[in-house]
Amino acid sequence: MAVTAAIIQARMGSTRLPGKVMQRLGRRTVLEECLTRCLAIPGIDVVCCATVDTAEGEVIAEAAQRVGCTAFRGSESDVLARYAGAARLVGASQIMRVTSDCPFIDPVLCGDVVALQREAAADYATNCAPSSYPHGLDCEIMTADWLFRAEREATLTPDREHVSPYIRRHPDCDRVNLQAAPSDTGHAALRMTVDYPEDLEFARALAAALEARDAPQDWHSIVAALAETPALAAMNAARIDHARLSAPAPLGFRQVRGTPGHFTPL
């Protein structure tokens, strides 16, 4: 039986914000919030947290298992091999990749990317080639065949550290990107990832605001909360990645827009 897995990479080490994934946002840690949202992605059969095989990985593996996820421990530096090992552990045929510093990852948007990859019969699908959604909503899905091929063939250090660059640029790979609707592209500069102390301060304030609103915590609800309280978005605005926003669409990607069943080529 085909298994679609969400694999979330996590470790305690971070030069800019050490231990960030175990920082609390309120009821949950950054990691727990990310994993809990990934458990709700439509089309995902299993969620696996891929952490490191050093002592620091123990606390992450235990946290993942507490919220109902599988845990895999592998190389800290060779993240590509770690992903491949996690995929083998859960018997995945399709692998969605999410990073654990994205506590506001949107299950519905991730589900759209899962559906796009299936409906387009693509080897690889993403929503950030180029980026048109807020930073922190990025996800990608690839076939196990391509993940294992990258594991065998990729030799450059960045390809081993970042999992998908080899796949994203390979001319034999059929790649597709989901672009945001025209009405949503103006939100691409919003920053919802946690990489700096300002991001953590923002994430804590946003989590509290969302809890107070008692509204669905999809990314459109987040945008609505930020519109009501502009000071929230200003908390980490100095960390906006302008290079991400100005990066052109990579060559070789089919560009589409829409929702499941209604994807429109551009």
Q: What is the rounded distance in angstroms from the CA atom of residue 235 to the CA atom of residue 237?
A: 6
Q: Which two tokens stand for residue 137?
A: 């909503």
The model's pTM is 0.96
What does CATH list as the number for 4-184+247-265? 3.90.550.10
Residue 20 is classified by DSSP as G
Q: What single string gives the DSSP state of each residue in 87-122?
A: HHHHT-SEEEEEETT-TT--HHHHHHHHHHHHHTT-
**Is there a contact between 12 and 19 (Cβ–Cβ < 8 Å)?**
yes
Q: What is the pLDDT of residue 185?
A: 85
Q: What is the pLDDT of residue 215?
A: 65
Q: What is the pLDDT of residue 16?
A: 86
| Domain layout of the chain by residue ranges | 4-184+247-265
**Is there a contact between 46 and 5 (Cβ–Cβ < 8 Å)?**
yes
Q: What is the rounded distance in angstroms from the CA atom of residue 199 to the CA atom of residue 107?
A: 21
In sequence order, what are the residues at sequence separation of 6 or more whose Cβ sits closer than 8 angstroms to the Cβ of residue 63?
22, 29, 31, 32, 49
Q: What is the pLDDT of residue 213?
A: 76
Q: What is the pLDDT of residue 259?
A: 84
Q: What tens-digit pLDDT sequence spans the chain (266 residues)?
A: 799 999 999 999 877 898 999 999 988 999 999 999 999 999 999 999 999 999 999 999 999 999 999 999 999 999 999 999 999 999 999 999 999 999 999 999 999 999 999 999 999 999 999 999 999 999 999 999 999 999 999 999 999 999 999 999 999 999 999 999 998 988 999 999 999 999 999 999 999 988 887 767 789 989 998 998 999 999 999 999 999 999 999 999 999 998 888 899 99
CA distances from 152 to 80, 147, 161 (A): 10, 9, 14
Classified as helix, coil or strand, 85 is: helix
